[in-house]
Amino acid sequence: MIILGVDPGLTRCGVGVIEAGAHRRLSFIHVDVVRSSPDMSQDLRLLAIYNGLVEKIETYAPDTVSIERVFAQSNRNTVLGTAQAAGLAMLAAAQRNIPVALHTPTEAKLAITGNGHAQKIQIERMVTRILNLNTMPTPADAADALALAICHALRPAGALQGGEREEHLTPAQRQWAEASKKATKRRFNADRGM
């Protein structure tokens, strides 16, 4: 199963591709950053990001696209561009009938380090170790994209069924399920107003 992770952004949009094999064995395929220049008008920036994402999706033909879930509470200065870039990634996947998974940064941190509040450097080190890389993936936003792909591959089985099977979860899986439920609730509240 090929998973393409997207760390959305208008100036730098991280893309990381991994393969998830049997026994949760993960291997590295590709990492890159799709860019648009802040000197361009917003419509041309969005076109550049969209075209870059389409190229990646068509090259690596993922089975799932795993995108960071953006919240309105995020950094005010960048949140709209980030939401728009995430929207373009969703569009590019939906146009090709590729399922989309949204994961919060907390979910990604939990899945990779077991700690939902892990620092950037811890994420980078664990991504490097999990994927058996010799050096840390660069640039840093690319590591975040790989983390989102890994997060989707390693998600606990219970994460898909919501709270039903919580009694069977390990403590880490329970933490995950709680973070996931919280995110779903926030999304539900946000969607109600739309």
Q: Interior CA angle at 17 toward 142 and 163, to 5°?
A: 95
- Adjacency order of strands within the sheet including 2-7: 26-35, 12-20, 2-7, 64-68, 100-103
d(CA 193, CA 133): 44
State the minimum distance, in angstroms, from the CB of residue 28 to a second copy: 26
The size of the interface with a second copy (CB under 8 A), counted in residues, is: 40
Q: Give the footprint of a second copy on residues 160-189 (CB under 8 A).
A: 189
Applying CB under 8 A, does 88 fall inside the site for a second copy?
yes
Name the residue nearer to a second copy (CB basis): 25 or 120: 120
Q: Which residues are catalytic?
A: 7, 68, 141
Name the residue nearer to a second copy (CB basis): 37 or 135: 37
Q: Is 190 helix (H, G, I), strand (E, B) or coil?
A: helix
d(CA 46, CA 94): 17
Name the residue nearer to a second copy (CB basis): 167 or 191: 191
The secondary element (H helix, E strand) that includes residue 123 is helix 120-130
Q: Which residue has the tokens 């606990």?
A: 156
**Is residue 32 a known part of a binding site?**
no
Between 38 and 77, how does the x/- string for binding to a second copy read (CB under 8 A)? x--xxxx-xx--x-------------------xxxx-xxx
Using CB under 8 A, list all residues that contact a second copy.
9-11, 38, 41-44, 46-47, 50, 70-73, 75-81, 83-84, 86-88, 90-91, 93-95, 100, 102, 189-194
